[in-house]
Amino acid sequence: MTPRWWAGIFFASLALNVLLLGIVGAAYLNRDNRDRELVHRMTVYTVPWAWRVVGEDVGILARRIYARNQADLARDRQTLAEDYAKVNEILAAEKFDREAFAGALAKLRMDVASAQKLMHEAMGEFAAGLTADQRRKLTDFVTDWAKQRDQRAIRRDEMIEQKERRDPPAN
């Protein structure tokens, strides 16, 4: 190989390394915003969600409640994973069985409700250990979160309407 070829390889490698360094650096610098977005996407009214919103002040209470419910939560997660796998298996089958699909969805719905009941009971215990200001912080967060979701939904609907005006669906 000629020196010109090696120079090309060197600069390509250098550019790739600078790109990767930029990605890692940006992820590091924006980690607080990423964590906040994670909270927005999480299910509200659960102990982990509330702990993230309120802060480390309630860490001991949250850990105690989580430790007490850990086995049941793990069981629920396993059950839900199996339910989702069953739903996907039926959905992906060569021959679709509508009754089996409806039954699998019904079981999934029942197991989600059961898991949610456990999470909400834990949240009730957690909320009972919070101060009025901490509970207000949770309600304020949920109010802001709901407004943001509504605004995103409105923007999404507007974008769909604009697209449909530009490109009417072919019928």
The 3-state secondary structure of 1-38 reads CCHHHHHHHHHHHHHHHHHHHHHHHHHHHCHHHHHHHH
Token couple for 94: 């060569």
Per-residue pLDDT of the chain (171 residues; tens, 9 = 90+): 777 777 777 777 766 666 666 666 666 565 555 444 444 444 677 888 888 888 888 889 988 998 999 899 899 999 999 999 999 999 999 999 999 999 999 999 999 999 999 999 999 999 999 999 999 998 899 888 888 888 988 999 999 888 888 887 776
Phi, psi of 129 (to 5 degrees): -90, 5
pTM for the complete prediction? 0.60
Count Cα atoms within 13 angstroms, Cβ side, for 146.
7
State how far the Cα of 163 lies from the Cα of 170, in Å rounded to an integer.
Answer: 13
Token couple for 46: 């659960």
Domains of the chain as residue ranges with CATH: 45-132 (1.20.120)
